[in-house]
Structure 1
């Protein structure tokens, strides 16, 4: 019988080399410093009620109230970011859980205490408010900030109603929080064998590695073992997802939106036609995806192509593995085209412990960039020595540099940016890395491998995320129509949608019907479509950067500096992409087809 001593275990947080962890002490030197600010902010939140009723007095009072509120939001956001980072480095740690819980409750209190602001602002006569914006110089920095509120005039409720909804924030977020705890801390995955026949504890990170194995039996085993765990909890996970969807639909309904999608997209001033154009364009180009997976089955020489065969490299495995130190050097070279100033800040990220590198027990799965105006833009990774991790590094660095440029060029009220533009910065970096690697490695085998990675990235981001977006919209519509979102209902639709996307050359294994149960982004409220639009826009922006035209590069850097000082669509127009038109999508699919042709030629020459 296999003993635990024979199994390769993940390290505990305490066992991780400190050089591979992020340094959070610049945010708070110790717990006492956190607690001190927490108590201070708690008192400030309680005092915010004194601001209520002042707006109607005039423009100077409006400035005073806005500044008073932002003065409390800013340190509260700092507390939240710190607690979130601590929680995610070890989600099983009780102290970290408590820290996160305390901070979430604090934010709920804050939201309830300022819920009156939007309704009170909208109660000011529109013509009178416009006169204030013109005549009061101190309001000039807040004009767009105010417009983002007044543009949603018809969707803002009374002060009492908005306060009540804000106070319900913890309860309304319970389904999402339950999923996170279950997915990141409580699910126990079985022991499996890796490529070398070594026994390892299956985890999200290990699964991501094994599903890329060149050995079919390893891929199949990892796939079936992972989904066997999710299948056991599919009814619970259906309940958490259903609860989250109901929250979105409830909020949209009470705020007088047509549906949850309109509510989510209106917050960023994005027309719903952007979503619909994406889905339409992807469906028009599904034959390209079907062609690609057909080539995959042919090259792998498999009698049947299964869902677990879609991630293994199909052009062999050249010596493209990277330690984290090697990856940092490659990232600097690949991103050099963005100019010396950009590179200097990437080096700062590497040298200042902004990155939490390796996987440990209880650590949140996946990768992200997170921070706020007064912190570094930290990066969480779960590093594996492979090409995918290199791409993840430059992807998250794109987010962090976007944050860095924004916070160093905008005032606090515009010191963040919409998700719609966030994914563009990250995927532009990935596109630049692909171009760099194709130029660095001229041999056909490596070229084919890199092209395979690009095609898989396009498949996983444009096609797969649009598939997710379709599913997300469907379940919101179905819930709004009164359809119970049971596990069977969700799985039946998901399987059919999967079959549509991948076509007849792929066996949609029964396990894939449960894929919805493990996707965290379904809890993010119409987030995923922005991965696909972002990837497509990045294709155009990367081409502009690689042209060598300094003005086009500066257009891109100015986009990174824009923050939320204008609506996302307008920011991207100035960067060189009009995302209200389909041209950027056409360009993206043309690039995909071109590289698919290149890949097909290369692999046919080698077979």
Structure 2
């Protein structure tokens, strides 16, 4: 009933973060070394037109960046273990503040590269073998020419980057450390502390009163701070809009998509394709209402499983076995590396007091690809584990097969590998299940995956599109405005069979991804690309697995659209999303037969 303190969690259930630094004294030594190395950066100003100097600078920059990332990852992960721990908060702030200074020191690099005659730059690259590794990087830089400012302006923007990230930092501290949720009564009528971690259990409760109370308690807590949350979010959007205008992009969306060579039509096609198929989501609401035998369907009924099965309790070791079996189509090498990661301390498994909520995968080129979980023994937690390990395996393969400069994959590719794992897991569970009720339970699970990852994320993407366009045009947005926009979208997406409870209006205040502009649509495109990969692998299409593993190994060595096309998936076409909706409809047919 009470959440454990960090020190009460077993060491084998925590990530091995000491592999980065054994203590803060070691961290401080590297921090001092970073500052010392960074002092060498200005000596390269106005010398980058010489090939040897350019290569020397790039090698120094890599050393500095790798060291800085280790410091950053350690400080952030330690802070996330206990967001109320002021020591690690201060270290996180310390490295974050210094990174703004570090960015300012190196801000001359791109403007100086762009000031070099392109023919001369290419000549230096051809003459110097060491520079040829960076050909694609230089190609990307040259594409930014219309959106790059003078060295002085770049330095100025870099120096205020820490200030511009304030809305996101404020939101994270508020939602993870300061927001206190009320107590509610569970199914046994016992009073329990509601947290972001256990909310996902109570909103799926078969006891309607429990899920309604959890729903109202959670959103009621956010609604108390609606004006603060509106100011925080609109400030974040204004910062992004300011950056877009300063860099001479047409709008915020172009500023987000163009640097990765993603056509605006990919974003707009995703919204259009989903809007053209909302009748499938409306059908799902109708079927769910009927199977749950409800006179009215409320938003808090949306997550409850259709089939009344005994409450599952899946120990973490069993989850590992289950996911490993499901991922067998990815081959022996993948499974070996996957299981090594589990055993070697990649994962921080369980919730503790003040631990950051949710789940993520993060690390640097020289660390493990760490996974933060808040594992709660449900099938949904098993799926989250598979998802986050998909990210970590993608990072592992990229870092193992790419040089540092190309090891990081773009956001557009980020959700593909994680969702391949999720799809393989749910398909495996559905295919092997013989019990009719359990099979239908799993069918509903996959429907929920598609609803939440494709339909829901595109609704979020549409919310972002509307709010960014309004702020780009100079229109102020209050809490009431944001609530009205969000409510209208929910009515459109869920249809007339859904009672639109007023609490849903404030849900935008709970979505951390809104502070990573134009990120969420990539969940939907990522799921659709993943669905395409899984289909190809399952039918043993020629070289399908080889192409997929090559995609995992490719990091950021090409533009994301190109990497996916090379692997056989074309995201400029609506087909991947349409095929995902086709799968959604097939699952609905199974439900209707029931």
Taking structure 2 as the reference length, what is the TM-score of the superposition? 0.99
Deviations 1:348-370 (A, max 9, x none): 11111111111111111110000
Q: Does 1:207 align with 2:164?
A: no
Report what 1:473 is aligned to: 465
Q: Partners in 2 of 1:398 and 1:320 — Cα distance?
A: 23
CA contact (8 A) 2:41 2:106 kept: yes
SS in 1 for 2:573: coil
The aligned counterpart of 1:596 is 588
Equivalent residue in structure 2 for 1:395, among 387, 392, 396: 387
Work out whether residues 359 and 384 of structure 2, in 8 Å CA contact, stay in contact via their aligned partners in 1: yes
Q: CA contact under 8 A between 2:252 and 2:472: conserved in structure 1?
A: no
1:141-540 mapped onto 2 (5 Å cutoff): 141-317=133-309, 320-540=312-532
Give 2:15's aligned residue: 22
Contact 1:356 1:381 in 2 (8 A): yes
- Residue of structure 2 aligned with 1:547, choices 523, 539, 547: 539
Instruction: Give the match's secondary structure for 2:18.
Output: coil
Superposition deviation, residue 406 in structure 1: 0.4
* Matches of 1:148 and 1:36, distance apart in 2: 35
What SS does structure 2 have at the residue aligned with 1:343?
helix
Per the normalisation by structure 1, the TM-score is 0.96
| Deviation digits for residues 118-146 of structure 1 (CA, Å, limit 9, x no counterpart) | 00000001122222333322111111111
- Structure 2 counterpart of 1:11: 4
Query: In structure 2, the residue corresponding to 1:408 is in which secondary structure?
Result: helix
SS in 2 for 1:267: helix
Conservation of the 8 A alpha-carbon contact between 1:191 and 1:199: yes
Identify which range, 248-257 or 321-330, moves more after superposition: 321-330
CA distance in 1, matches of 2:108, 2:477: 34
> Is the deviation greater in 315-324 or in 360-369?
315-324
Specify the alignment match of 2:75 in structure 1: 83
Sort the Cα spacing of 1:318 and 1:556 in 2 relative to 1 into closer, same or farther, 3 A: farther
> For 1:50, which of 37, 43, 57 is the aligned residue?
43
User: Does 1:104 find its partner at 2:122?
Assistant: no
* 1:46 CA drift (Å): 2.4
CA change 1:237–1:169 in 2 (3 A) is same
Counterpart CA distance in 2 for 1:146 and 1:596 is 49
Q: How does 1:29-48 map to 2 (within 5 A)?
A: 29-48=22-41
Distance 1:130 1:485 in 2: 47
- Give me the whole-angstrom Cα distance separating, in 2, the residues matched to 1:87 and 1:144: 36
| Residue 550 of structure 1: how far off its partner (Å) | 6.4
Q: What do the CA deviations read for 1:168-211 (whole angstroms, capped 9, x no partner)? A: 01111111110110000000111111122222111101111100
Which whole-Å deviations, capped at 9, do the CAs of 1:445-483 have from their partners, x for residues lacking one?
111011100001100010000000110111111112222
Q: Deviations over 1:522-560 (max 9, x none)?
A: 001110000010011111100111123462101000000
The 2-side partners of 1:178 and 1:434 are apart by 36
- Cα distance in 2 for partners of 1:312, 1:241 equals 30
Q: Which runs of structure 1 show a deviation greater than 4 angstroms over 4 or more consecutive aligned residues?
A: none
CA contact (8 A) 2:203 2:304 kept: yes
The structural deviation recorded for 1:166 is: 0.3
Q: Distance in 1 between matches of 2:288 and 2:246?
A: 48
Structure 1: distance between partners of 2:337 and 2:573: 33
User: Structure 2 stretches of 5 or more lacking a match?
Assistant: none
Q: Secondary structure of the residue that 2:206 maps to in structure 1? A: coil
Match of 1:62 among 54, 57, 68: 54
Q: What is the CA distance between 1:318 and its match in structure 2?
A: 5.1
Q: Give me the whole-angstrom Cα distance separating, in 2, the residues matched to 1:528 and 1:242.
A: 17
Question: Greater CA deviation, 400-409 or 138-147?
Answer: 138-147
Measure, in 2, the Cα distance between the counterparts of 1:136 and 1:46: 26
SS at match of 2:253: helix
Q: 1:94 to 1:350 in 2, by over 3 A?
A: same
User: Which ranges of structure 1 fall in alignment gaps of 5 or more residues?
Assistant: 1-7
Separation in structure 2 between the aligned mates of residue 354 and residue 376 of structure 1, nearest angstrom: 6
In structure 2, the partner of 1:94 is 86
Kindly report the root-mean-square deviation, in angstroms, between the aligned alpha carbons of the 2 structures.
1.1
Distance 1:461 1:193 in 2: 30
